[in-house]
Amino acid sequence: MVTKVSVRYPQRGTRQVSGVLAVNDVSFSVAPGEFVAIVGPSGCGKSTLLKAIAGLVPLTSGNVAFGSGPETRVGFVFQTDALLPWSTASSNIELALRLAGASAVTARDRARKLLAHVGLENAAELFPGQLSGGMRKRVAIARALAYHPAIFLMDESFSALDAQTRIHVGNFFLTLLAESQQTVVFVTHDIEEAVAVADRVLVMSHGPGRIEREIAVPLPRPRDYHASRFVAGFDDLQRRVWQALPASRELEQ
Ligand SMILES: Nc1ncnc2c1ncn2[C@@H]1O[C@H](COP(=O)(O)OP(=O)(O)O)[C@@H](O)[C@H]1O
Ligand SMILES: [Mg+2]
């Protein structure tokens, strides 16, 4: 639950309180197991909002709460995989588990199981530089899954993949989600992708970002990352998201 969250970055090198207002009074809630996508123009504050939810940037005002369960951890999948290049696929996951308090033996065992779960049992001892983009993305997803996060935060997670790999990893991810009933907040600038995967799309304004509109996506599940774009009703939903987006500033005088 995100309540009246604002984030202002301090101005670099000054003591001024003004700085950049990146997120402006945003409130929304996500039901357990729900998949919410957030779209909006570049620089509108999407990444800042996710980081604020994750506790990676301080809130200037407002509040973030994670329901009533004991689990408050978040799993974060960035656009870049953010894997440690000098650690193997397995060690990257083990490190996350160790930081979350697991013993070395437990971490190793669980990392193996997670890698098998994402179809990479044979890549455990390979380094990120030896893996393809799609494989690295799957390691990053496995790492985020490692500590059973209450919520999965994804920031343009598939944007850097080539089209074919994106479909492969996207479908892979949708299948994992269907099994785990994971709650997801998924930031993307790709409107088609947002409608294809999400239960609900939140549309942000130009920065400082506010949520302008909320569009429910009642397309059937299970979804297919690619084929769901051709089902009845998709075009209409996509059009509604486009119409809710603010006009491009590049077209304005
Ligand atoms: N670490 C930072 N320090 C100062 N300003 C920042 C920082 N990160 C982002 N910003 C500014 O905050 C605004 C929102 O950025 P961001 O959240 O990255 O937007 P988006 O992800 O939607 O493209 C932009 O004006 C950006 O320049
Ligand atoms: Mg961003």
* Residues whose CB is less than 8 angstroms from the CB of residue 159 and which lie 6 or more positions away in sequence, other chains included: 79, 188, 189, 190
> Could you read off the pLDDT of 189-229 as tens digits, one per residue?
999 999 999 999 999 998 888 999 999 999 999 999 999 99
pLDDT band at 145 (very low <50, low <70, confident <90, very high): confident
Nearest residue by C-alpha to atom 8 in ligand 1: 48
Closest Cα partner for 55 from 141, 139, 149, 190?
149
pLDDT band, very low/low/confident/very high, at 237 (cuts 50, 70, 90)? very high
Of all protein residues, the one whose alpha carbon is nearest to atom 12 of ligand 1 is 22
Give residue 74 CA to ligand 1 midpoint distance, Å: 21
On whether the CB atoms of residues 229 and 196 are closer than 8 A, the answer is yes
Tokens of 34: 């729900």
How far apart are alpha carbons 109 and 193 in whole angstroms? 34
Of the two residues 57 and 146, the one the predictor is more confident about is: 57
Mean pLDDT of 36-47: 94
Would you tell me how many other CB atoms lie within 10 Å of the CB of residue 105?
8
What are the residue ranges of CATH 3.40.50.300 in the chain? 1-8+30-72+150-247
Burial 151-162 (b: 16+ CB within 10 A, else e): bbbbbbbbeebe
Comparing 161 with 109, the larger pLDDT belongs to: 109
Nearest CA to ligand 1 atom 1: 9
Query: Which ligand neighbours the alpha carbon of 46 most closely?
Result: 1
Predicted confidence (pLDDT) at residue 65 exceeds the cutoff of 80: yes
Residue 46 in contact with ligand 1 by CB distance below 6 A: yes
Residue 13 has pLDDT above 80, yes or no: no
CA dist., res. 52 & res. 206, Å (int) = 18
Report CA-CA distances (Å) from 173 to 156, 213, 249: 14, 26, 33
DSSP string, 154-178: EESTTTTS-HHHHHHHHHHHHHHHH
Ligand 1 and 42: CB distance under 6 A: yes
- For residue 34, the model assigns a pLDDT of 96
Q: Of ligand 1's atoms, which has the minimum distance to the CA of residue 40? A: 22
pTM confidence score: 0.91
Q: What is the mean pLDDT of the chain?
A: 90
Rounded average pLDDT over 12-37: 86
With bands split at pLDDT 50, 70 and 90, how would you rate the model's confidence at 232?
Answer: very high
Provide CATH code, domain 1-8+30-72+150-247: 3.40.50.300
Please provide the DSSP assignment of 59-117 as one string.
-SEEEE---SSS---EEEE-SS----TTS-HHHHHHHHHHHTT--HHHHHHHHHHHHHH
Task: Reply yes or no on whether the pLDDT at 146 is more than 90.
Answer: no
Nearest ligand 1 atom to the CA of 45 is 17
Ligand 1 site, residue 10, Cβ cutoff 6 A:
no
pLDDT, tens only, 66-112: 876 656 688 888 888 789 999 999 999 999 899 888 999 999 999 99
Tell me the average pLDDT across 153-174: 91
Residue at 113: amino acid letter? K
